């Protein structure tokens, strides 16, 4: 456990050792604040954060892979991964330590959007339970995107390739639940298979939490997605270590 803690602390501190973390936070917060107002936030005349949560999954598609791409690709490119694996720590502990450090960094980025709920509360009397569950869903979805990015970062030593693969995979996992995608799939696949594919959509499980509904099926979905992709990342690195 001490090795896991050391990796987690080292990785988290590493984000703020360079200007990259601050640039990420500025871009993320600027985009998260701009997109809802661009989408005529005031025209709805409702004190809620519907538009904020509407754009967040799309923003995550590009922002989260930019955090995940360096997790293992940079370690492999620089050769420091060999040094890491010589330490008294298992691959699983190293993967989990890096993942949780990155997830905590994303949680900080999400928490820094607090001016948005403050603005909504100033303008009216919103449903705070709905806002809290929306933020819970946003954090879980960030972890799911991050787990996907973590896997592709372990798959290649090139950060750009890792980023592109992660963006494509996250885009698919987000968009397969959209009505346009479902209509397209219904023309080529059986209805039962389309229904099963629709359940894999990040957006569908996040949408119910936006409405203030917490279901065990949604929590279980994100837990399985996160653990599954992190486990796959561990298998990739175990294979690299054995070579």
Examine the pLDDT at 46 and tell me if it is beyond 90.
no
What is the pTM assigned to this prediction? Answer: 0.91
The DSSP call for residue 44 is: G
Check whether 180 has a pLDDT greater than 90: no
Rounded to an integer, the average pLDDT of 85-113 is 89
Model confidence at 33, pLDDT cuts 50, 70, 90, reads confident
d(CA 52, CA 41): 9
pLDDT average, residue stretch 138-163: 93
User: What is the model's pLDDT at position 242?
Assistant: 61
Residues 6+ apart with CB under 8 A from 57: 141, 174, 202, 203, 206
Beta-carbon count within 10 A of 180 CB: 8
Mean pLDDT of the chain: 86
CA-derived radius of gyration, the chain: 19
* Helical spans, DSSP H, in the chain: 2-15, 20-38, 50-68, 70-78, 80-86, 91-111, 115-123, 128-155, 159-175, 179-186, 191-198, 202-210, 216-242
For residue 166, what are the CA distances in angstroms to 78, 156, 163, 173?
A: 21, 11, 5, 10
Distance of alpha carbon 91 from alpha carbon 178, whole angstroms: 37
Q: Is the pLDDT at 113 greater than 70, yes or no?
A: yes
């Amino acid at each position: 456990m001490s090795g896991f803690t050391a990796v987690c602390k080292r990785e988290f501190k590493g984000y703020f050792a360079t200007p990259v973390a601050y640039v990420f936070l500025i871009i993320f917060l600027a985009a998260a604040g701009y997109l809802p107002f661009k989408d005529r936030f005031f025209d709805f005349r409702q004190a809620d954060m519907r538009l904020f949560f509407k754009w967040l999954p799309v923003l995550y598609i590009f922002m989260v892979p930019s955090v995940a791409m360096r997790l293992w690709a940079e370690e492999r490119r620089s050769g420091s991964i060999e040094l890491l694996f010589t330490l008294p720590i298992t691959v699983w502990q190293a993967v989990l330590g890096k993942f949780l450090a990155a997830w905590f960094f994303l949680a900080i980025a999400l928490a820094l959007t607090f001016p948005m709920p403050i603005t909504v509360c100033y303008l009216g009397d919103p449903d705070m339970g709905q806002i809290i569950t929306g933020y819970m869903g946003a954090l879980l979805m960030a972890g799911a995107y991050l787990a996907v990015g973590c896997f592709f970062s372990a798959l290649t030593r090139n950060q750009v390739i890792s980023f592109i693969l992660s963006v494509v995979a996250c885009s698919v996992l987000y968009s397969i639940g959209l009505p346009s995608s479902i209509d397209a799939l219904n023309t080529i696949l059986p209805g039962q298979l389309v229904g099963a594919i629709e359940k894999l959509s990040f957006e569908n499980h996040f949408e119910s939490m936006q409405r203030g509904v917490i279901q065990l099926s949604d929590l279980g979905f994100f837990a399985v997605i996160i653990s599954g992709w992190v486990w796959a990342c561990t298998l990739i690195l175990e294979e690299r270590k054995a070579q």
